[in-house]
Every structure is written in C-alpha cells, then in structure tokens.
Amino acid sequence: MKTKIWIALLAGWGLCFAQLTANAQEYSEHISKQFQVVPGSVVAVYNIEGSIKVEGSSGDKVMIEVDETIMAKDNDELERGKKEVKLGFDQKADSVIAYTAAPYDTRPHTHWNDDNDNRHYRVKLEYTLKVPYNVSLRLSTINSGSVDVKDVTGTLKVNNINGPITIVNAKGTTDAHTINGNLTVNYLAVPPDASNYYTLNGKLEVTYPANFAAILQFKSMNGKFYTDFDDTEVLPTKVVVTQNKKDNGTLYKLNKDPQVKVGAGGKLFKFETLNGNIYIKKQS
C-alpha cells in the first residue's frame, strides 16, 4: 500500500514538470549536521528524490551532508518552495533520523495526506553520511537516485524505487528491496540471521565468504539462478503446515519455490526477481 501511494505521488510530480518553461528556476543549498551516538544505534534516512550514500568510519559521530535542490516553473514557485521545504533531523537515545518534514512528512506512516496539485516545484535531496561502523541502517529513496552503503556492519534495511542498491563490506542481517534497478551485495562475514533480497527488474548478485552455509530459496518469473559454491544440494519440495483454528483443521501446502542447501545449511536466505538473473558468488 505504501509503495502505491509513493508511486502515485511521484507520477503527479512528473506531469507537473514534463514541460518546464524557459523561466524555470533553481535554488541549491548545502546542509551539514553532526550527532554523537552510542554503539549499535540505528541511523535512518527517508528520502523521496535523490541518492543516499553511507560509509562506515571509526568514532562515535554521525555526519550528515545534504545537497538540497529546489526546481520550480517560475520565481514565485521557487520562493514558495524555499519557504515551505523543511528538513527534519530527530535524535533519540539510540537513533538518528533524517527526513523531509515539510511540506510533507517522508517518515514511514500508514496514511499519506499530501495534496500536491497546486505545487509547481519539486525537491531533490542528495544525502552523504559517515557513520560508526557498528550502526544499523534504515534507508529509502524513491526516484532519481541510487543507494550505496560501504563498511557498515550492523543490520541493514534498504529500499529503492527506480534505482540500484549497492552494499559493500557488510556483515549484518540484510533486507534489501529495489524496483527497476540492480541489487549488489558483498559480505565480509556471513550474516547472523535470515536475510531477504528482492529486485523487480534487475540483476541480483550477492557475494558471501567461502564458509557460507545456509538454505537458499529462489523465486524468479523470467530469470535463472547461478552459483559457484561447490557444496550445494537441491532440496525436495517442502510441505508447509498451517493450523486453522476456526475450522479446527490443518492445511497442507506445497512450497513451490526451489530451495538449495549450501554447506551444512542453516538460516533461510530468500532471493526474488521478476525479470533478472540471480547470482550467488563465493568470495575469492
């Protein structure tokens, strides 16, 4: 439901800016913020348009750099955008959140009440962060940008629409989801818990250390699965049992998604594409 709401919003903006006049105006501003955090904190960025780049570093500081660009059809709309657009930076005991606070709130929520029919400007935000190595991340953007994460060892939850996701030198449990973009992940250590990877239209490529052991589950409409791990075994179709308390019965259902055991097996790792191949690689 959230994805549909976001896409509808972006589609509306696209119509507004399909044909900019010669009087189109633009304003740029650079914003810098710094926060001190405790080990294991969560750092979140909720963006709409623009890229997010995060790199791990030593120390206990979260440094956020934002390049803000407001684009409008004329000077009046540009001035309106400069007055209306507000960024939010919230810090709690164990988290830092960066988001757009006005004229709409980009933090995850159930209902979207923004009316952009009379707004003839748009905002692009390019985020660059340096964070402690051991934080966990919650990142999302929707249009005109990529999400890039490097040298962050905590839990990762990363989402993008109309752009790629690239994660390098990870160690933590991962939930990565993109639409219309490639998804590439490289691990320095095997994630400690079950992880999920999804791309609608793109290549899915994940590289694990040589000692990787897990159960892999695959689903693709128009793609194939490839791996260079030698110690693999295709598992038989699994029967899923569901208790139905209302009817006082048991439902048996076949899981049609293929599963492969790597090494001694272990946690379940799920990989899904619609149009694109899946590559599971061994770190060389």
At residue 256, the pLDDT reads 73
User: Token digits for 226?
Assistant: 């490839």
At residue 109, the pLDDT reads 78
The three-state DSSP-derived secondary structure of 148-194 is EEECCCCCEEEEEECCCEEEEEECCCEEEEEECCCEEEEECCCCCCC
Nearest to 282 by CA among 242, 240, 232: 232
User: Token digits for 132?
Assistant: 């402690």
Task: Tell me whether residue 230 is exposed, middle or buried, using C-beta atoms within 10 angstroms of its C-beta: 0 to 12, 13 to 18, 19 or more.
Answer: exposed
At residue 18, the pLDDT reads 44
Distance CA 161, CA 168 (A): 20
Token pair 């748009």: residue:
122
| Dihedral pair phi/psi, residue 135, rounded to 5° | -75, 165
At residue 30, the pLDDT reads 98
Q: Look at phi and psi of residue 265 and say left if phi exceeds 0, alpha if psi is from -120 to 50, else beta.
A: left
Give residue 85's identity as a one-letter amino acid code: V
Model-level pTM? 0.87
Instruction: Please tell me whether the peptide bond between 258 and the residue prior to it is cis, using omega within 30 degrees of 0.
Output: no
The DSSP bridge partners found for residue 43 are 96, 137
pLDDT in tens, the chain (284 residues): 333 333 334 444 444 444 445 568 999 999 999 999 999 999 999 999 999 999 999 999 999 999 999 999 999 999 999 999 999 999 999 999 999 999 999 999 745 555 566 889 999 999 999 999 999 999 999 999 999 999 999 999 999 999 999 999 999 999 999 999 999 999 999 999 999 999 999 999 999 999 999 999 999 989 999 999 999 999 987 666 666 666 666 665 556 788 999 999 999 999 999 999 999 999 98
- CA dist 272 to 87, 193, 256, 276, 284, Å? 34, 18, 13, 9, 24
Distance CA 63, CA 60 (A): 10
Nearest to 112 by CA among 67, 158, 48: 48
